[in-house]
C-alpha cells in the first residue's frame, strides 16, 4: 500500500479540509502521506541519469525546442528543468524502473483520486482527460534550472499536487515553493522529503514559483512529483 494509513483517517481528512478552506491560497501541507520504504525505492530509481530529459517552457508556448528557446528573452522563459522519461521501462514489470512507474499510476488511481475528492469536496476523475499520464510525472531542478512565477489554473483543473522526494534536504539548499499569497504575504514551503502540498490553482494567491536551488555540483538536484487533477 502506498498511503500511510495514519495520515488518511476520517479525523485527518476533516483537519486537512479545515486548513484548506481557511488559507490563502487554498492549500494544505501533508507530511508523511506516503509509505517511506516505497518512496525510498522510488528515489533510488530517480538517481539514474539516463532516464531524464530537459523540458523548457515559455509564457507563450510549452515544450519549446532549443532553437526557439535561444530566441526567447529571459523575461519570457518560465521553466527550465528535467522531466522523467516515462517511456523508460514502462512496459516491463520486472524492469528496475517498475516501482517508479507504479507510483505514478497509483497517483491516478481511483483510490488516490477518491482521497483528493474527499479533501477538496469535488469529484476528481480522469473520465474526460485525454492523456491522464502526462499530467503526473517526476521532475528535478539543479542550480542552473528555474520555475518562475506562473498560474496552474487551466479550465476544469481543480487540484495541483506537489510531492517532494529530497532526502536530507537543508534550508541552505534553497528550492522552496513560494505562493504569491494575499496582501503581499507570500507563503514559503521547504521541499522536505515525503511532504505533499495540495492546492486549488484557481484560489486567490495561488500563483507560485520555486526559489533557486543552491549547490556547487551539477548533480545537486531537487526532486518532486507534480500531478494535476480535473473534475467532470
Instruction: Print pLDDT tens along the chain (232 aa).
Output: 999 999 999 999 999 999 999 999 999 999 999 999 999 999 999 988 888 999 999 999 999 999 999 999 999 999 999 999 988 655 555 577 899 999 999 999 999 999 999 999 999 999 999 999 999 999 999 999 999 999 999 889 999 999 999 988 888 899 999 999 998 899 999 999 999 999 999 999 999 999 999 976 556 899 999 999 999 8
Q: Rounded to whole angstroms, how far apart are CA atoms 156 and 134? A: 16
For the entire predicted model, the pTM comes to 0.94
| Angstrom distances, CA of residue 38 to CA of 4, 27, 153, 169, 218 | 11, 25, 31, 19, 26
List the one residue out of 24, 2, 19 whose CA is nearest residue 187.
24
Structural domains in the chain, CATH included, are: 5-230 (2.60.120.620)
Looking at residue 219, its pLDDT comes to: 66
Q: What pLDDT does 91 receive? A: 52
Would you say 138 and 225 are in contact if contact means Cβ atoms under 8 Å apart? Answer: yes
Output the nine-digit C-alpha cell for 157. Answer: 483543473
Amino acid 184: pLDDT: 82
Q: Left if phi > 0, otherwise alpha if psi is -120 to 50, otherwise beta: which for 107?
A: alpha
Structural contact between residues 179 and 172, judged by C-beta atoms closer than 8 angstroms: no
What pLDDT, on the 0 to 100 scale, is given for residue 171?
A: 82
Nearest C-alpha neighbor of 197 from the set 44, 2, 23, 10: 23
- Tell me the residue length of the chain: 232
DSSP label of 153: -
Cis peptide before 25 (omega within 30 of 0): yes
In contact, 174 and 212? CB cutoff 8 Å: yes
Using an 8 Å Cβ cutoff, are 179 and 206 in contact?
A: yes
Pairing between β-strand 222-230 and β-strand 136-141 as defined by DSSP bridges: antiparallel
Q: What's the pLDDT at 216?
A: 64
- Nearest Cα neighbor of 179 from 156, 159, 199, 153 is 199
pLDDT at 172 (0 to 100): 85
Amino acid at each position: 500500500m502506498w498511503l500511510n494509513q495514519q495520515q488518511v483517517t476520517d479525523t485527518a481528512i476533516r483537519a486537512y479540509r479545515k486548513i484548506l478552506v481557511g488559507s490563502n491560497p487554498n492549500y494544505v501541507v501533508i507530511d508523511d502521506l506516503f509509505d517511506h520504504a516505497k518512496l525510498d525505492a522510488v528515489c533510488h530509481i530517480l538517481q539514474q541519469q539516463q532516464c531524464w530529459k530537459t523540458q523548457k517552457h515559455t509564457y507563450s508556448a510549452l515544450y519549446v525546442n532549443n532553437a526557439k528557446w535561444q530566441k526567447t528573452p529571459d523575461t519570457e522563459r518560465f521553466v527550465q528543468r528535467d522531466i522523467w522519461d516515462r517511456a523508460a521501462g514502462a512496459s516491463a514489470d520486472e524492469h528496475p524502473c517498475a516501482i517508479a512507474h507504479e507510483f505514478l499510476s497509483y497517483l491516478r488511481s481511483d483510490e488516490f483520486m477518491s482521497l483528493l475528492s474527499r479533501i477538496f469536496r469535488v469529484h476528481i476523475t480522469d473520465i474526460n482527460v485525454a492523456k491522464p499520464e502526462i499530467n503526473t510525472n517526476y521532475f528535478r531542478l539543479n542550480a542552473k534550472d528555474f520555475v518562475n512565477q506562473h498560474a496552474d489554473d487551466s479550465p476544469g483543473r481543480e487540484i495541483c499536487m506537489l510531492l517532494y522526494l529530497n532526502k536530507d534536504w537543508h534550508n541552505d539548499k534553497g528550492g522552496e515553493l513560494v505562493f504569491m499569497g494575499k496582501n503581499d504575504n507570500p507563503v514559503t514551503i521547504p521541499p522536505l522529503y515525503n511532504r505533499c502540498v495540495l492546492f486549488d490553482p484557481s484560489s486567490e494567491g495561488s500563483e507560485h514559483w520555486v526559489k533557486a536551488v543552491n549547490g556547487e555540483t551539477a548533480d545537486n538536484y531537487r526532486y518532486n512529483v507534480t500531478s494535476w487533477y480535473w473534475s467532470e
